[in-house]
Structure 1
Amino acid sequence: KVASLFIAKEPLSYDPTVTRFERGLAETMASFIAWILSHKLLCFLIAATVAFGISTIVLGVQNAELRSEIDDLKSVTTAAPGTTAAPETSTAITTTGTTEAPDDMSKYRLPTTVKPLVYDLYLYPDLDTGLFSGTVVISLNVLSETDSVVLHSNLLTIDNVTIGTETGNFALEDTYELLTITKADGSLFSVGNATIEINFNGDMKNRIVGLYTSSYTTESGESRQIATSKFEPTYARQAFPCFDEPNLKAKYIVHLLKPKDASYIALSNYPVARTEDYDDNNELVTFDETVEMSTYLSCFIVSDFTNTETSFDNMGTSVPLKVYASPENLNKTTYAGEVGKKAIEYYVNYFNMSYPLPKLGEFQIQSILILNVMFCMCINGRKSDFKKISESSIIVYFQ
């Protein structure tokens, strides 16, 4: 009866079987539905708030249960003891088997017993597989006698370590992203110069920091691969073992592998010194030794990009300024060069100090993480940032 009254277009006053209570209930329901229809937004917000509150409570309960499970695991989990192989071979010792949070905050800073002087770095990126291998020979200054050399390494596989001419041992601590190197005979590193050679390999795929692959599509629909780097603030350790703290500056001699394809180029912080055949399909490009600089300023690029070129006045000396982009976007680089030229000339005059490096470059990258990445001599920007609307945001960096 109530339903009949609710949906009836006319009052059913003639129906003697309808009670006053039933008629009142039907009228109340009709008024409530009419209010809801006239306050749709308010009702939606109320429903959404209730749903959000219920979801928050459910997630809170689940989170509490997960925390309880983690606490239980912490109470029963112990770290597996590391092992060290015989002195004749390099030994990899990886910390495993614990979920405990780091409690030694001092390990996030490197010891002050050793300072890097020169990185002689070989990088062999494979654009087809997205993998890379490398060798770094680090010339060190041992400032005080120590039983180990500690540096950074993250997401790299260390193959072997050589100390001088002797095979060394090494241990990886994933939690702190550390690589600890010791002599096989247990002797100390004496004060003075030392040399460490490290062979390693890694993966460039599915990342946008460290040494990584990027791609773009040509007008014909072909996908082209490039290798590039993004090390700021602490991602150089994902490309090569290094002392990845900005105060630990060193010089670099960089060797980059690139395809023999004439359209491909290799770029780094300094000009090319020489190019040599590596195998049937690749060439090894060696660059001049750099000035001292922090690890995050080092730059490695292998691509088939082309460039436009201008120059800027460096207190009476002309310094080349190149802007690199994919062939399809080369027409967008002219304005970038104009703004870069004006910016650096402004700072040269403002500080009355000449730009100290032999060249300056800007490079367009499709998938770079942030607006501009600063390198010593090289500026990277996203593809969209090379459009005229945002060109004025280009940053010029002085080493």
Structure 2
Amino acid sequence: MKLRFSFSYFILLGTILPFGSTNLHRSRTKQDNFNALVLEHHHLDDLHNSKDIWGRKDELDNEIEDFTDDPKNLRLPLEVIPLHYFLEITPILEENSNLGKLWTAPGNVKILVEAMKPSQIVTLHAVRLEILKVKIINRSTGKNIKVVQHAQSALREDQYVITLKDELVVGEKYEISLDFVAPVSRNHPDGLYRSQYVDPATKNVSYLASTQFEFFSARQAFPGFDEPALKTPFDISIGRSSKFHSLSNSNLISTRPLKGSPGWFIDSFNTTVNMSTYLVALVVSDFTFSEADSSIFNGKPVRVYGPKYLMDQGAGEFGANVSAQALAFYEKYFELEYPLPKMDSGKYG
């Protein structure tokens, strides 16, 4: 059977976080053990200095080095680990924009990291991205760390290698800033990709950009450490023209004009909870929404977004109320409060 790319629903923004992921309940693999080693090494830094602890750290260093030196292993060598992402990205869905080409997404990501071992190399994930500029700053001293070169890895096509003049200092925190241009895919529903719908009354075609990052497609939209164990908060900002609005994992906190681009704006969203890169969600569309009755789920907004003609038909109201009822049920059943400020889902077919 031939599959057409025309999904009725796109990912629910945030629902997977409080109640678990279908990908987490599996047997431990060698690579799972490797992630556990790295995280144990990091957490030992938070404990008091003792002979036993430092002895264990030496063992971890050796085990991590043995793993990452094997070219068959596809995980990052983790010279640094991420602590926080600050992502700004602008999907271009209209022609004649001064921001860039149609179906591209220029952006910048700043990643706060901690050095895990002395190294003149920083390796991260990037696939089909054009990396325009790389800058690294020591957060303690404010000193720029000279970047000798940056390029796609010659060994692994999904990895990007930054070479520095000087070694990173273990335990120091650095900010890695990368200017990039990502594709808005028109062929594959993963990474950052284009969708469309047709209004049956006007026959007009409308485009939207949305994301599907699971399992490992965040690296197609922005450079980063695209491994599920490396959970951090995200501060996300999305550029869009006045014809559209944007959605992300957290709630919108501000909108400002995009300097030098009349009719364009930057939407900034609240800091997320700690989460993996594959859970980052972005949508730019002309959708409207229906909202569930606020009494169903503790006053938190639960919305279904979709084309105006569908929302006018009442297509979103039922879905919004059922979503709110499901969230209320699971909160009670698990005795675990939903940690996000809102819940969005979307329909366009």
TM-score (norm 2): 0.70
1:276 corresponds in structure 2 to 256
Q: Deviations over 1:159-208 (max 9, x none)?
A: 1211113452212127440011121x243344221111011112213231
The answer to whether residue 308 in structure 2 is matched with residue 327 in structure 1 is yes
Q: 1:141 to 1:197 in 2, by over 3 A?
A: same
Contact 1:312–1:321 (CA under 8 A) maintained in structure 2: no
CA distance in 1, matches of 2:166, 2:248: 38
What SS class does the counterpart of residue 256 from structure 1 fall into?
strand
- Structure 1 residues 281-296: aligned runs within 5 Å: 281-296=263-278
Amino acid at match of 1:266: S
* 2:296–2:325 CA contact under 8 A, matched in 1: no
Partner in structure 2 of residue 359 of structure 1 = 342
1:178 equivalent in alignment to 2:145: no
Inter-partner Cα distance in structure 2 for 1:268 and 1:344: 19
SS at match of 1:104: coil
Identical-residue share of aligned pairs (%): 31
The one-letter amino acid paired with 1:110 is L
1:147 touches 1:189 (CA, 8 Å); kept in 2? no
CA RMSD of aligned residues (A): 1.7
Q: Which has the higher contact order (CA 8 A, sep 6+)?
A: 2
Matched, 1:201 2:167: no
Partner of residue 81 from structure 2, selected from 115, 122, 140: 115
1:216 aligns with 2:197: yes
Instruction: Report which of the two structures shows the higher radius of gyration computed on alpha carbons.
Output: 1
Kindly indicate whether the alpha-carbon contact (under 8 Å) linking 2:89 and 2:106 is maintained by their aligned counterparts in 1: yes
Residue 267 (structure 1) shift: 0.7
1:125 maps to 2:91: yes
Residue 293 of structure 1, CA deviation: 0.5
Higher helix share: 1
- Aligned residue for 1:319, secondary structure, equals coil
- The yes-or-no answer on 1:305 pairing with 2:287 is yes
Q: Is the 8 A contact 1:143 1:191 kept in 2?
A: yes
TM-score normalised by the chain length of structure 1 = 0.62
Residues 249 and 294, structure 1, Cα contact 8 Å, conserved in 2: yes
Q: Give the 4+ runs in structure 1 shifted more than 6 A.
A: none
Aligned to 1:318: 299
Counting matched residue pairs gives 258
* Aligned match of 1:80: none
Q: Give ranges in structure 1 of 5+ residues lacking alignment.
A: 1-102, 366-382, 384-399
The CA distance in 2 between the partners of 1:226 and 1:189, in whole Å, is 43
What corresponds to 1:236 in structure 2?
218
**Kept in 2: contact 1:212–1:227 (CA 8 A):** yes
SS at match of 1:126: coil
